[in-house]
Amino acid sequence: MLTTYEVRYARQTALPQIGWLGQEKLATASVVIVGCGGLGTVAAELLARAGVGYLYLVDHDIVEVGNLHRQVLFDEHDLGHRKAIAAAKELRAINSEIVVEPVVARLNSSNASTLLAGSDLVLDGTDNDATRYLINEVCVKQDIPWVFAAVDENYGLVMAIVPGQTPCFSCIFGEPLSLPAVPRSNKGLLGTITYMVAAIQVGLAVRLLLGDDEYAGGLLYVDAWDYRMESMPLTRSPGGCGVCGETKTSRRS
């Protein structure tokens, strides 16, 4: 007789790219999701359903009614509650076989090294570049792959960063210009673009967790309104940049 575990992942493990060996890798993997907004909630749900064993949700904010048009793990009962805690509760209801830990905090330069340490992967669910530069710096230093994602109005960007192998965030976007960690909450945002970009982000995350980092890489641009997607291949310069230039080895090399 099949176990619940075998039945739950039967369709996923039937994929030759994953199989039961891949499923075991996912079951022992640890992922930190920074931000439980539009991107982070969709990403967290997909990772929980895929059976990623340890999910850490970092967010200090509370659920507001303006979040409900896109933030998939919340409903009206969650209004006024901490996002990380409400999201963790929902994820545990989806999959009780994984560990989900809420971390009610805003990622900053004092806590980032500790909060990201020891994870296999970090997902960017933030809404500001200042936090992305911080994630990049810590992940490069600690040799942790991370997947950048950003959405604005009807378009979004996704890019996987594997220290020592791909260009890092600073290689592509330059050095930070004293950017304040302030979200642009007054701008428009299409609900569908957050789902699309987060789904692509999780697709990259699963490949990296399986140890499959042989994809072409690069920066993907997605437009949910104009029905358009473009991939821009990127190659890491041998010297890297001021942030990743000191990375001499990778645990995947």
Taking the complex as a whole, the smallest distance from the CB of residue 68 to Zn ion amounts, in Å, to 37
Q: Which is nearer to Zn ion, 41 or 136 (by Cβ)?
A: 136
In the three-class reduction of DSSP (H, G, I as helix; E, B as strand; rest coil), residue 4 is classed as: helix
Closest distance between Zn ion and the C-beta of residue 166, in Å? 9
Which of 74, 173 has the CB closer to Zn ion? 173
Q: Which is nearer to Zn ion, 105 or 234 (CB)?
A: 234
Strands 121-124 and 99-103: unpaired
SS3 sequence, 126-181?
A: CCCHHHHHHHHHHHHHHCCCEEEEEEEECEEEEEEECCCCCCCHHHHHCCCCCCCC
DSSP 8-state assignment for residue 189: B
Q: State the DSSP code for 37.
A: S
Report, in Å, the least distance between residue 247 CB and Zn ion. 8
- For residue 153 the two structure tokens come to 């109005």
Rounded CA-CA distance 87/56 in Å is 11
Closer CB to Zn ion, residue 35 or residue 240? 240
Binding site for Zn ion (CB under 5 A): 168, 170-171, 240-241, 243-244
Output the smallest distance, CB 124 to Zn ion, in A. 16
- Concatenating the DSSP letter of every residue in 65-127 gives GGGTTT-TT--GGGTTSBHHHHHHHHHHHH-TTSEEEEE-S---TTTHHHHHTT-SEEEE--S
What minimum distance in Å lies between the beta carbon of 94 and Zn ion?
36
Nearer to Zn ion by C-beta: 204 or 241?
Answer: 241
Q: How far is the CB of 204 from Zn ion (least distance, A)?
A: 18
Q: Which of 58, 241 has the CB closer to Zn ion?
A: 241
Chain Cα centroid distance, residue 122: 6
